[in-house]
Amino acid sequence: MNKKISSLVLLVVLGITDAYLLAHPNLIGRLGVLIYKHSYIKNFASALITVSLILGISLAICELLRIFASRKVSSAVYSALLIISFVWLAYVFSTFSTFSYRITGKAFIYGAHLLPVILIGLYGRYLVKVLWMTDRRKNQPTAGSLDEKV
């Protein structure tokens, strides 16, 4: 339980940090947010709602898969989500490497990179968890074998 609480606290802190970074571009970045009508990151509150929804839905998907899906299905979905997150990070990296986005401010750029990195960590953790826990269960003795040894 302690590990789960610390993981959730880390996820909340990273989500708040990402929302803060996304909501604070420099003057040119603010103009871009207004011109292109990015209302989901217009201020800290809307950025926090956006980031919280993305992280909350991702966490809910991971937990539901962990509880209800088989090992093959959950590992396949976690792998697919992990690949999507890596592709999203590559897209953000290539997009924010252009001149027009490089002048929007370092905080905004770091915030744009942070969300896919958080999702990579989340999906990667659940993928490793489902693969490691299943292998570990195979090596544990069953209840019947414990009674026979006593």
Among 47-51, 99-103, 104-108, the minimum mean pLDDT is found in 99-103
Return the pLDDT at 150. Answer: 47
Angle at 59 between CA 113 and CA 116, to 5 degrees: 10
Cα–Cα nearest to 123, from 65, 72, 68, 69: 65
Task: Please state the domain count of the chain.
Answer: 1
Q: Which residue has the higher pLDDT, 74 or 1?
A: 74
Q: What is the pTM of this model?
A: 0.84
Complete DSSP assignment for 93-136: HHHTTSHHHHTT-HHHHHHHHHHHHHHHHHHHHHHHHHHHHHHH
Among 1-15, 40-54, 98-112, 134-148, the minimum mean pLDDT is found in 134-148
Residue type, 118: I
Q: Residue 145 domain-assigned?
A: no
The rounded distance, in Å, linking the Cα atoms of 19 and 12 is 11
Give the domain extent around 42: 2-138
Q: Residue 143 domain-assigned?
A: no
Q: Residue 146 domain-assigned?
A: no
Q: Residue 144 domain-assigned?
A: no
Q: Within 10 A of 4 (CB to CB), how many other CB atoms are there?
A: 8
Q: Residue 122 domain-assigned?
A: yes
Q: Residue 147 domain-assigned?
A: no
Q: For the residues 114-132, what does the mean pLDDT come to? A: 95
Q: Residue 149 domain-assigned?
A: no
Q: Residue 67 domain-assigned?
A: yes
